[in-house]
Chain A
Amino acid sequence: MALLQIAEPGQSAVPHQHRLAAGIDLGTTNSLVASVRSGMAETLPDEEGRHLLPSVVRYRPDAPPLVGAAARAGAADDPLNTIASVKRVMGRGVEDVRRLGNRLPCEFVPGASGMPRIRTVAGDVSPVEVSAEILRVLRQRAERTLGGELAGVVITVPAYFDDAQRQATRDAARLAGLNVLRLLNEPTAAAVAYGLDRQSEGIIAVYDLGGGTFDISILRLNRGVFEVMATAGDTALGGDDMDRALATWIMEQAGISDDAGHGQLRRLMDLARTAKETLTDAERVPLRLALDDGGTWEGELTRERFEALVDPLIARTLAPARRALRDAGLRPEDVSEVVMVGGSTRVPRVRARVGEFFGRPPLVDIDPDRVVAIGAALQADVLVGNKPDEEMLLLDVIPLSLGIETMGGLVERILPRNTTIPVARAQEFTTFKDGQTAMALHVVQGERELAGDCRSLARFELRGIPPMVAGAARIRVTFQVDADGLLSVTAREQTQGVESRVEVKPSYGLGDREIEAMLRDSIEHAEDDRDIRRLREQQVEAERVLEALRAALAADGDRYLEPGERAAIEAAAAELERRAAGDDAGAIRRAIEAVEKASEAYVARRMNASIERAMAGHRLEEFE
């Protein structure tokens, strides 16, 4: 029901101007970029025809970093400067990295504000900067292939990523000069790509085992509406862990000690990964490893031995699967299709055990590497405005409970996990001391009972509470999560209306100033460019608002407006038109806001009417 779109001023006034958008799968092991072209979503290859970009960045002393296959090729020779699987530490503080017992063969040093940095020959880099290098390459690839600047991208993240990990991903995108339309959950993206392709209906489970993360989502598909019922996972479990289990076994067989050098460890991991992949089609694989002392170790690995080594890891994926089913109120047999996503689902043992669990063979004939990027591209096409009449709709959920810390360090859950978004819910709290005039609010995320065991998202204060007896004050705390998954929390004292609000952007150890500094260093736009850009943006927005308003008034202005109301709207519109012709971005912004305020009731009435039409059982299109 979007009001009329218009073309960018200065271009031909073709309605529904196509804007360039892409979907990006920023994976632990490999990344991809995809876009919708001529109605088809496809992954975009590089100049050598390769679609997958290994998520590996190699820093060099006097040259820009290498990204992708070239970086990976040199990994064993230059382990400390070659960073792989950086996704495993995105949004994690130094403590998290230490607790994960991370054995990524690179050197971590604590940064200024508790965020881990990686020491390389080109300086200490943050995981966000490393991810930005990967995103930058994908952006260039997309813009070169599509022939223009990207208006926006949808980037996928594991459904089970918490808000700190998501914020880190957004920051990396900003650094790479990308406008993020939305962060989309990987299983949901896969479901969209798969579901639209098959025209499926019913309950599907998406089992997504990537290099470093595991997600399971249960969705219901019905005529283009994809409803996530529940999601669960483990953000520290993936194919890398299978490689590690195998590498540990090889070390034991070869008599290599734990304190072997980084180069040796890297060669071990490479060997483990190759062996694992070979065993997908073979029953046994010969092993050959170069040793630090110049010698070579040779051995053999059977599929049986490999499966024994990875069985405990696969078992770990079944616990979240059970919980997701329970949260969705379903049993395994209620699922009509099981979709496998992620390179690690190629392992035959994984397929076998997942098939056993659900009592049906999982679907394996879609490309587990590309399906997520494809789904992201489809969603990007919708969110950038190319498809106003699109049938497809994604109804996603928050993966982790959100709450407030209360007395005694306990968590009061305001939004339980798997709540469909957008959502707004409130709860009342009170003061605990006589005469208390301020309240400290601590917003946390997670399933534990104690706030200290949950992820801390934000702290803010409500001041100016009128002094009362303890327990008499009524503080209404509202949690709102929008369709993009962004949380804002408002605290409002009910008698006097004193209010305080925070938009949650967890810092995960990186302060705003550090991000601004990184952005300055990346020199995306010079100062002058920024002002011109801002003016342009306001002018374009003004045109859009005016055109949409004109069209709406022409269609039904008389039906929904009193003459006085219409006059007020038209006056505000005239003022906006005047301002838009000038060069004061701030004045244009204010004039837009004035038009919005004047037309608020009108817009609401129009939307109400379309709801009523839908309610009466008619599709909206019949009336237009």
Chain B
Amino acid sequence: MGGGVAVTTGGQDHFALFGLQPVFALDRARLDARYRELQRVVHPDRFAAASDQERRIAMQQAARLNEAYRVLCDPLARARYLLELRGHRPEDEQQTHRDPVFLMEQMELREALEAAETGPDPLAAVAAVMDRIASRSGEVMDELAAALAGEDEAATAAALQAVQRLQFFRRLEEEAGEREARLLEQG
């Protein structure tokens, strides 16, 4: 997608693109409204009668907008992005792997999921595990929001760790969702 001229979006980060402050707390309704507003202006369909060149630029703009929107809508992606803007990359930290308590919890949840499918009421059991995952995930998300409010070393370390943990929970959620889907299809 490179080459060509830098359009506005070249120099702006995702938050600036939507006229938002680069903080974790997000007014979702405002983001959605801005997104629609901007797509009304830049979407290639608006340039149906214009030149090929304008349509190409419009396509790049719209794609850029979609990417920025996607990142900001997902709290985990938004947190990672914010940390990247501040110069930190979650991949470079290895803390979570050194936390046996957290890993034990993950293993336990995974085992609970497997056990759920072999019990008397698999759907209800899987749903119960999903509730637990959601609840724990929510707690870590709150920790993340609090950590991101600060910018000192301790806060950043806490934020990076929270991001890593949420990634684990995210994977668990996906697996649980897939199991639930399979169970539902089997009727």
- Do A603 and B181 touch across chains, with their CB atoms under 8 A apart? no
Best-surrounded residue of B5, B18, B49, B53 (most CB of chain A within 10 A):
B49
Which residues of chain A (349-388) have a CB below 8 Å from chain B?
Answer: 382-385, 388
- Do B4 and A600 touch across chains, with their CB atoms under 8 A apart? yes
- Do B53 and A611 touch across chains, with their CB atoms under 8 A apart? no
Which of A382, A419, A611 has a CB less than 8 Å from the CB of B45?
A382
Give the distance in Å from the alpha carbon of A523 to the alpha carbon of B67 in the complex.
Answer: 45
- Do B50 and A3 touch across chains, with their CB atoms under 8 A apart? yes
Which of A222, A423, A601, A620 has a CB less than 8 Å from the CB of B67?
A423
Interface stretch (choices A69-77, A300-308, A315-323): A315-323
Verify if A395 is at the interface (C-beta below 8 Å from B). Answer: yes
Give the distance in Å from the alpha carbon of A383 to the alpha carbon of B8 in the complex.
Answer: 26
- Do A2 and B63 touch across chains, with their CB atoms under 8 A apart? no
Residues from chain B with Cβ under 8 Å of A478 in the complex: 1
Shortest beta-carbon distance from A274 to chain B in Å: 31
Give the distance in Å from the alpha carbon of A480 to the alpha carbon of B66 in the complex.
Answer: 12
Residue of B nearest to A426 (CB): B1
Residues from chain A with Cβ under 8 Å of B42 in the complex: 607, 611
Verify if A140 is at the interface (C-beta below 8 Å from B). Answer: no
> What 0/1 readout, one digit per residue, does chain B (56-67) give for beta carbons within 8 Å of chain A?
011111110011
Residues from chain A with Cβ under 8 Å of B54 in the complex: 2-3, 603, 607
Give the distance in Å from the alpha carbon of A587 to the alpha carbon of B8 in the complex.
Answer: 33
Residues from chain A with Cβ under 8 Å of B53 in the complex: 596, 599-600, 603
Residues from chain B with Cβ under 8 Å of A611 in the complex: 8, 38, 41-42, 61
- Do B48 and A422 touch across chains, with their CB atoms under 8 A apart? no
Residues from chain B with Cβ under 8 Å of A620 in the complex: 41
> What 0/1 readout, one digit per residue, does chain A (389-424) give for beta carbons within 8 Å of chain B?
001011100000000000000000000000111111
Residues from chain A with Cβ under 8 Å of B60 in the complex: 424
Which residues of chain A (2-25) have a CB below 8 Å from chain B?
Answer: 2-3, 5
Verify if A604 is at the interface (C-beta below 8 Å from B). Answer: yes
Which of B32, B34, B44 has a CB less than 8 Å from the CB of A483?
B44
Verify if A518 is at the interface (C-beta below 8 Å from B). Answer: no
Residues from chain B with Cβ under 8 Å of A394 in the complex: 45
Verify if A472 is at the interface (C-beta below 8 Å from B). Answer: no
How many residues of B are in contact with the other chain, CB < 8 A?
45
> What 0/1 readout, one digit per residue, does chain B (97-138) give for beta carbons within 8 Å of chain A?
000000000000000000000000000000000000000000
- Do A225 and B39 touch across chains, with their CB atoms under 8 A apart? yes
Residue of B nearest to A182 (CB): B45
Which of B7, B36, B48, B185 has a CB less than 8 Å from the CB of A225?
B36
> What 0/1 readout, one digit per residue, does chain A (413-457) give for beta carbons within 8 Å of chain B?
000000111111110000000000000000000000000000000
Shortest beta-carbon distance from B134 to chain A in Å: 12
Which residues of chain B (1-49) have a CB below 8 Å from chain A?
Answer: 1, 4-8, 18-19, 32, 34, 36-49
- Do A608 and B8 touch across chains, with their CB atoms under 8 A apart? yes
Q: A607-B7, A610-B41, A615-B34 are in contact. Are A422 and B49 (CB under 8 A)?
A: no
Give the distance in Å from the alpha carbon of A389 to the alpha carbon of B86 in the complex.
Answer: 41
Residues from chain A with Cβ under 8 Å of B150 in the complex: none
Shortest beta-carbon distance from B136 to chain A in Å: 19
Verify if B52 is at the interface (C-beta below 8 Å from A). Answer: yes
Q: A319-B184, A611-B61 are in contact. Are A1 and B46 (CB under 8 A)?
A: yes
Residue of B nearest to A326 (CB): B177
Q: A393-B39, A483-B43 are in contact. Are A601 and B5 (CB under 8 A)?
A: yes
- Do B36 and A222 touch across chains, with their CB atoms under 8 A apart? yes
Shortest beta-carbon distance from A154 to chain B in Å: 11
Verify if A614 is at the interface (C-beta below 8 Å from B). Answer: yes
Give the distance in Å from the alpha carbon of A614 to the alpha carbon of B46 in the complex.
Answer: 14
Residues from chain A with Cβ under 8 Å of B7 in the complex: 604, 607-608
- Do A607 and B52 touch across chains, with their CB atoms under 8 A apart? no
Best-surrounded residue of A422, A599, A620 (most CB of chain B within 10 A):
A422
Residues from chain B with Cβ under 8 Å of A422 in the complex: 44, 59, 62-63, 66
Residues from chain B with Cβ under 8 Å of A548 in the complex: 50-51
- Do A424 and B41 touch across chains, with their CB atoms under 8 A apart? no
Shortest beta-carbon distance from B176 to chain A in Å: 11
Shortest beta-carbon distance from A36 to chain B in Å: 14
Shortest beta-carbon distance from B86 to chain A in Å: 23
Residues from chain A with Cβ under 8 Å of B4 in the complex: 600, 604
Best-surrounded residue of B42, B63, B184 (most CB of chain A within 10 A):
B63
Residue of B nearest to A223 (CB): B36
Q: A382-B45, A601-B5 are in contact. Are A326 and B181 (CB under 8 A)?
A: yes
Residue of A nearest to B38 (CB): A614
Verify if A531 is at the interface (C-beta below 8 Å from B). Answer: no
Shortest beta-carbon distance from A476 to chain B in Å: 10
Residue of A nearest to B19 (CB): A615
Shortest beta-carbon distance from B58 to chain A in Å: 7
Verify if B187 is at the interface (C-beta below 8 Å from A). Answer: yes
- Do A603 and B57 touch across chains, with their CB atoms under 8 A apart? yes
- Do A480 and B63 touch across chains, with their CB atoms under 8 A apart? yes
Give the distance in Å from the alpha carbon of A227 to the alpha carbon of B40 in the complex.
Answer: 12
Residues from chain B with Cβ under 8 Å of A601 in the complex: 5
Give the distance in Å from the alpha carbon of A277 to the alpha carbon of B88 in the complex.
Answer: 64
Shortest beta-carbon distance from A168 to chain B in Å: 24
Residue of A nearest to B54 (CB): A603
Give the distance in Å from the alpha carbon of A393 to the alpha carbon of B61 in the complex.
Answer: 15
Residue of A nearest to B18 (CB): A615
Residues from chain A with Cβ under 8 Å of B61 in the complex: 607, 611
Shortest beta-carbon distance from A454 to chain B in Å: 17
Give the distance in Å from the alpha carbon of A570 to the alpha carbon of B48 in the complex.
Answer: 25
Residue of B nearest to A384 (CB): B48
Residues from chain A with Cβ under 8 Å of B57 in the complex: 603-604, 607
Residues from chain B with Cβ under 8 Å of A524 in the complex: none
Give the distance in Å from the alpha carbon of A604 to the alpha carbon of B50 in the complex.
Answer: 14
Give the distance in Å from the alpha carbon of A421 to the alpha carbon of B67 in the complex.
Answer: 10
Residues from chain B with Cβ under 8 Å of A480 in the complex: 1, 63
Give the distance in Å from the alpha carbon of A600 to the alpha carbon of B57 in the complex.
Answer: 9
Verify if A141 is at the interface (C-beta below 8 Å from B). Answer: no
Give the distance in Å from the alpha carbon of A394 to the alpha carbon of B45 in the complex.
Answer: 8
Residues from chain B with Cβ under 8 Å of A426 in the complex: 1
Excluding A382-B48, A419-B70, A482-B59, 13 further A-B contacts by CB distance (< 8 Å) are A2-B49, A225-B36, A225-B40, A322-B181, A426-B1, A483-B59, A603-B54, A607-B8, A607-B58, A607-B61, A611-B61, A614-B37, A614-B38
Closest 5 CB pairs of A and B: A385-B49, A608-B8, A483-B44, A596-B53, A604-B5
CB pairs A–B below 8 angstroms (28 shown): A1-B41, A2-B50, A3-B54, A225-B40, A315-B187, A319-B184, A322-B184, A383-B48, A393-B46, A420-B66, A422-B63, A422-B66, A423-B67, A480-B1, A483-B45, A483-B62, A548-B51, A596-B53, A600-B5, A600-B53, A603-B53, A603-B54, A604-B4, A604-B5, A607-B8, A607-B57, A611-B41, A615-B34
Which positions in A face B, CB cutoff 8 Å? 1-3, 5, 222-223, 225, 227, 315, 319, 322-323, 326, 382-385, 388, 391, 393-395, 419-426, 478, 480, 482-483, 544-545, 548, 596, 599-601, 603-604, 607-608, 610-612, 614-615, 620
